[in-house]
Amino acid sequence: MTPDLADISPDRRPRHIAIIMDGNGRWAQRRQLPRIEGHRRGVASVRRTVEEAARLGLEQLTLYCLSSENWKRPQPELDFLMHLLEQYMIEERTTIMGQNIRVSVIGRREGIPDSTLEEMDKTVRMSAANSGTRLCLAINYGARGEIIDAVRGLAADVLAGELIPAEIDESQLENRLYTSGMVDPDLLIRTAGEMRISNFLLWQISYAELWVTDRCWPEFEIENLHQAIRDFAARDRKFGGLLIEG
């Protein structure tokens, strides 16, 4: 077993990993620190995970940064999260460009400060021509809202006479999702031991393998990412069918 996964063949590795980054607040509270300190330390986990994904040549990494339900949190915490996001977009540009990472953002833009949107958009534009790992950040994202937006788009086409209901199939809907043009996740990682999906990529993870760790997100290390990939590689994915033994 090698620490850099060189012993795992490329065809056994996930093309796309999605992560529900949970436990920042709990990590801080267990150490009698403010919740915002957990979010600050969580950024370090984002940095090392993104850099390792790029080093491994992962096709896509999607991170659940802010759910549409997170707006229920105290305003000071939300303000700090927006500050961290804006800061990340500015400070990580050199690394993003140097590692050939392409940044995408999915989710609704409502509620996000203009200054944060401006820095997000700038990073997305700057990295648009990069051909390495795609880093997709889910910000103000909710899968139910995503599906509703997709259905509204299809309904508008029907009303305009550009589409008939009988023509609507999975591919039509997929083309309307925020993730249009992206491959579906092969592996979904969740930290902090929670056994739920939390309204994340409900359509896209239909056949994703799930991997849960008790570690909170600020504790998530490269070794944990490697272990998740190793466990994925050891599984047999049937996609609803049966394995045929020769």
Q: Give the active site residues.
A: 22, 70
Q: What is the dihedral of CA 93, 112, 184, 127, to 10 degrees?
A: -20
Rounded to 5 degrees, what are φ and ψ at 216? -75, 160
Query: How far from each other are the two terminal CA atoms of the chain, in whole angstroms?
Result: 28
d(CA 33, CA 215): 17
What is the number of H-type helices and E-type strands within the chain?
A: 8, 6
Rounded to 5 degrees, what are φ and ψ at 24? -60, -50
